[in-house]
Structure 1
Amino acid sequence: MEKQQRRQKVHAALNGNANTDASEDSQLMPENPESVPMTKRPAGSGPEDAPDKKEPLYRMLLQNITVEPMLFPYLIASILVILANQNLNIQKACRVELKLGSEVCDALENKDQNSTLLTDSEITVQKLVADMLIWQTILQSSVPAVFVMFLGSWSDRNRLRRPCMLLPVYGEIVRNVGLLLCVHFFDELSMNITGLWQSLPIAITGYWTVIYMAVFSYVGDHSTDQNKSLRVGLVNLTMAMSLPIGTGLSGILYRAIGFSGVYIISLILCCISIWMGYIFVHDTKQIKLDSGKKQKKSYWNRIKFFFSLNHLIDAFKVTFKKEKNNRRMKVIALTFLITGIMGPLQGDKGVAYLFTRVKFNWNEVQFSVFSTTTMCINLVGTFLTIGIVVRKFGIDDALIGTVATTGKLLAQFVFAFATTTFVFYLGAFVNFLQGPAIISMKSIINKIIPAEELGQVSAVTSIGENVIPILCGPLYSYVYESTLSYFPGAYFLVTAAITVPTIFIYLWLYMQHRKETKESYNKLPDTDLLKDSNGITSN
């Protein structure tokens, strides 16, 4: 009877429907259980797995909430100030740098005139702001890309994730305080000083790069193989929810309460985020191995040790070390995958609004409605993937990513050749699995990398994600400017070209996962399995 049950479990695993306990895995599974996809145990294999005992979805979600209460207010706070910062730069350039006068600058702010004078003035102001955006983008992307590798190494050595999560929140607080001063001393502080306040505090504290590294490392520390996809999905769901909320409120709050009001609300949200962090986020207790005398280090020596190049070298060695199950190639593939998925998202940000103005004659409100609708569609796709595809059917992460990126590829052609608003919105529905494409990528990293190495590996693999805005931003702008007169949607085809390799990477990861699963079960003793002539198990 026992042998028959073991055969049933093995057969179900090969068909994507098994999910065994850690104790059972030690008897049936090879040394590397991460190579086996998270799936579900067949009904009737144990009393605890009976269908009528399944937990409700809402209760399961509540039990898996950890970093989300801290992450949500921080993301809202950082998104709220984006529109205010853009308008502050325009007003600083107009009133302080160019001194165009109140009449012209008020008209630029309110957008209630359409004269030639206003158009010429806006072009002059935007050129000045665009020049500043170049060094702002480089500063905000390059500094966190380097800093996160040292911080990720420190986080892994000490198994401390919460300080890394809260550091960018403190940076956001410093930025908002500085911007309040820039608003108060409006005429005294130039546009470039304001731009420095907008970029430097968040750059040296890591911004979203560091907080994402810490959040996903923490999730990896406090998750099992069975619930990693769910917890990674909840984090991405939080990110997906914060985008439409922050974007939708930013314009309303700016019009209602102005610069100072937006920055004060952002400060309050950051304080709430820190409070939530201390309530919900608790690091794993560090195991101290040295029992001898402790050598006290000066602060200077600690700083030198923190920024030691050896940690940087070790991070690359850990990330790309050669291990069983082709781990090195998987990490390299995932690094390219991150770049291929996040790059087009960054490039699209700079030209999407300009495209809709030319193609459909949209204004700011119409574009905001489309952006919010798109985010809500992605949110629904993410929720369906987590609640049904992952939880109920246990579909492999790489297979989800393959389907999601294929949908993204098709959507680019819909966007590029759309001639009506209806068709353009249809492209957003075709691309409704954009969120799960990112979730799958993060989930795979969390499953193949041990918890004690997640910080370093996440830091190294995120280099492409941080460097890509410096490359994709100018690329998309150049393509859009070059094709504006005859085919303004050409940049969507650039996204399509970048997306094609990501589909094949996801397919390769899926095939690798299936191959490793079958090889693992083929190594089991013949006495426990019934195999056909091809080595495939059966009942």
Structure 2
Amino acid sequence: MVLPNLCQAALTVLHQIEPVIILEQLGSTLFDTALQMVVKDECANATYPDTHLSREDSQQKAMSDFFMTFNLIVKLAPILPALLLARLGDRGWRRLPIVVPLCGYLVSRLMLLLVVIFKLPLEVMFGAAALFGLSGGFCAYWPGVMTLASLASTAADRSKVMMRVELLYGAAGLVGSLVSGHLFLLYSSSLGNGTVLLTVSTLLALLCLLQSIFLLQVKQESNNEPEDHYQLLSSDSSDGPAEAPARVNRVNMALLFMAATLYVSAVGGALEILGIFVMKAPLGWTATQVGYGNAAGCMIFVTSYLGVMVFRRCVSDVMLILIGMISFASGIYFMSFVTATYLFYLARSLNMFALIPLPTIRSLLSLQVPASSCGTTLTLLQLSLKFAGLVYIPASTKIYQATLTWFPGFVFLLASIITVLGMIPISIFGCRSPQRRQNERIQGD
């Protein structure tokens, strides 16, 4: 009697989106560590005679050039496929924006494994990035995940549900990152470093794809509750009505898009360089330390979730976003002057609420459009963040290369300033929303 009940409970869990999130993120964190270390090894002998750089600085320049091109392809290629998948998702094919990108995840991991085993040129990964992008990539996958999570929740719980998704994503990344450095050091004498790590990553991607194809189900929660039940936070929240308005306020949506774009530009530009920065003296991290550093980044998902659970009882969504932005701005400012590993972790600890802004902004956006347009709206937001990447990725790379010899942390200082600028549109949104709600009540009277 107990065994059938356990099997039924396990099957119910496998029908939900959570196992997909966990398996994909476990595989992704293993892949990220492997890619960092493989690129480091391949760029070890890079030289730039005309620039008179040291061997270490030449390696840093070669690594930053590779990741700039790789990440630009990843940002640019998914634009049209992600829009197409979002439209198909909103027309009823809800699993398609998840299944197709997972095929791209599997192919990219398999290609890096082939690069390591057969000693192929590192440029092969540019082709892997293109195939990954043409599958929709993260640009289609994450809005697809968020759309399923949104549809399976009530409007009152949507912000909480989205942060729970981020929590699972971060917890899986934490576990994967902690073991990734150790797995990278396991190798056979004939194949070399990274083969075990990439094999596990590829198998996880395969399991995730199979689960999304054969077991994942779409559940839509009925939202026919009274208007009083649609409060996103407490009754004191001043972010405006939680249910979608009859007429979309385009100014408010533009402010949310602007805040998200500025914040992602700051975060993305800093993280673009952070993985390279830690391999440079005086830090000079090994594969194990890289895994631990990635785990520290994933820990922010957990602390951000706990922050939402604590703060949402007493502050509005706008205030939650500002708290997250202040957290990132202070931590990344401190990162500018990091010269030892313990200082790195101190700087990361200041970022403990840095993951709050984006899911909260997504929640506010999803509540301002009809359910039939939710997937498209979230994908448009994701695409705007991708277009921002076409600017901040090369900009942060070139700034880092230009300041490499005299102030390598300058790009982090710049990210802190951009974050502060991102607080302006979200503050304006917070000031507009109470006035809008008051006007609606006067019109109703």
Q: TM-score range by the shorter chain?
A: 0.7 to 0.9
Q: Which residue of 2 aligns with 1:163?
A: 96
Question: Residues 53-452 of structure 1 correspond to what in structure 2 (within 5 A)?
Answer: 66-89=16-39, 120=55, 131-156=65-90, 158-186=91-119, 189-192=120-123, 194-257=124-187, 258-277=193-212, 278-282=214-218, 327-356=249-278, 360-364=282-286, 365-366=288-289, 368-376=291-299, 378-390=300-312, 393=313, 395-417=315-337, 424-452=344-372
Asked whether the equivalents of residues 68 and 393 of structure 2 are also in contact (C-alpha less than 8 Å), the reply is: no
Instruction: With the length of structure 1 as denominator, give the TM-score of the two structures.
Output: 0.65
Q: Which residue of 1 aligns with 2:391?
A: 471
Taking only aligned residues, the RMSD between alpha carbons, in angstroms, comes to 3.4
Distance (Å, rounded) in 2 between the aligned partners of 1:82 and 1:427: 21
Asked whether the equivalents of residues 170 and 302 of structure 2 are also in contact (C-alpha less than 8 Å), the reply is: no
Counterparts in 2 of 1:388 and 1:474: CA distance versus 1, 3 Å: same
3-state DSSP of counterpart to 1:435:
coil
Unaligned runs of 5+ in 1: 1-61, 99-118, 286-322, 526-539
Q: What is the one-letter code of the residue matched to 1:249?
A: V
Q: Which residue of 1 aligns with 2:402?
A: 482
- 1:499 Cα deviation (Å)? 1.0
Larger Rg: 1
Q: Which residue of 1 aligns with 2:230?
A: none
Counterparts in 2 of 1:155 and 1:126: CA distance versus 1, 3 Å: same
- 1:246 Cα deviation (Å)? 2.7
Distance (Å, rounded) in 2 between the aligned partners of 1:184 and 1:420: 34
Percent identity over the alignment is 17
1:213-266 Cα distance to aligned partner (Å, 9 max, x none):
211222232222111011111111122223332322222111114433233212
1:320-343 Cα distance to aligned partner (Å, 9 max, x none):
xxx866621122222222221222
Q: Which residue of 2 aligns with 1:15?
A: none
Counterparts in 2 of 1:171 and 1:416: CA distance versus 1, 3 Å: closer
Counterparts in 2 of 1:490 and 1:273: CA distance versus 1, 3 Å: same
Unaligned runs of 5+ in 2: 1-11, 48-53, 188-192, 222-244
Counterparts in 2 of 1:515 and 1:140: CA distance versus 1, 3 Å: same
Q: What is the one-letter code of the residue matched to 2:137?
A: Y
Aligned residues: 397
Q: Which residue of 1 aligns with 2:235?
A: none
1:95-154 Cα distance to aligned partner (Å, 9 max, x none):
9x99xxxxxxxxxxxxxxxxxxxx74x776766665554443332110112321122122
Distance (Å, rounded) in 1 between the aligned partners of 2:157 and 2:327: 26
Distance (Å, rounded) in 2 between the aligned partners of 1:262 and 1:359: 26
Distance (Å, rounded) in 2 between the aligned partners of 1:370 and 1:190: 27
Asked whether the equivalents of residues 269 and 396 of structure 2 are also in contact (C-alpha less than 8 Å), the reply is: yes
Instruction: With the length of structure 2 as denominator, give the TM-score of the two structures.
Output: 0.77
Asked whether the equivalents of residues 263 and 422 of structure 2 are also in contact (C-alpha less than 8 Å), the reply is: yes
Q: Which residue of 1 aligns with 2:224?
A: none
Counterparts in 2 of 1:169 and 1:333: CA distance versus 1, 3 Å: same
1:241-299 Cα distance to aligned partner (Å, 9 max, x none):
233323222221111144332332123212332344343432669xxxxxxxxxxxxxx
Distance (Å, rounded) in 1 between the aligned partners of 2:324 and 2:64: 34
1:303-330 Cα distance to aligned partner (Å, 9 max, x none):
xxxxxxxxxxxxxxxxxxxx86662112
Q: Which residue of 1 aligns with 2:231?
A: none
Counterparts in 2 of 1:427 and 1:174: CA distance versus 1, 3 Å: closer
3-state DSSP of counterpart to 1:282:
coil
Counterparts in 2 of 1:86 and 1:449: CA distance versus 1, 3 Å: same
Q: Which residue of 2 aligns with 1:49?
A: none
- 1:467 Cα deviation (Å)? 2.5
Asked whether the equivalents of residues 93 and 191 of structure 1 are also in contact (C-alpha less than 8 Å), the reply is: no
Counterparts in 2 of 1:420 and 1:246: CA distance versus 1, 3 Å: closer
Distance (Å, rounded) in 1 between the aligned partners of 2:340 and 2:377: 44
Counterparts in 2 of 1:75 and 1:425: CA distance versus 1, 3 Å: closer
- 1:68 Cα deviation (Å)? 1.8
Asked whether the equivalents of residues 84 and 262 of structure 1 are also in contact (C-alpha less than 8 Å), the reply is: yes
- 1:212 Cα deviation (Å)? 0.7
- 1:363 Cα deviation (Å)? 2.6
Q: Which residue of 2 aligns with 1:110?
A: none
- 1:165 Cα deviation (Å)? 0.7
Distance (Å, rounded) in 2 between the aligned partners of 1:86 and 1:415: 20
Q: Larger deviation: 486-495 or 399-408?
A: 486-495
- 1:162 Cα deviation (Å)? 1.0
- 1:81 Cα deviation (Å)? 1.6
Distance (Å, rounded) in 2 between the aligned partners of 1:85 and 1:486: 28
Counterparts in 2 of 1:197 and 1:487: CA distance versus 1, 3 Å: closer
Asked whether the equivalents of residues 397 and 443 of structure 1 are also in contact (C-alpha less than 8 Å), the reply is: no
Asked whether the equivalents of residues 145 and 462 of structure 1 are also in contact (C-alpha less than 8 Å), the reply is: no
3-state DSSP of counterpart to 1:434:
coil
3-state DSSP of counterpart to 2:154:
coil
Q: What is the one-letter code of the residue matched to 1:447?
A: L
3-state DSSP of counterpart to 2:153:
coil
3-state DSSP of counterpart to 2:356:
helix
- 1:452 Cα deviation (Å)? 0.6
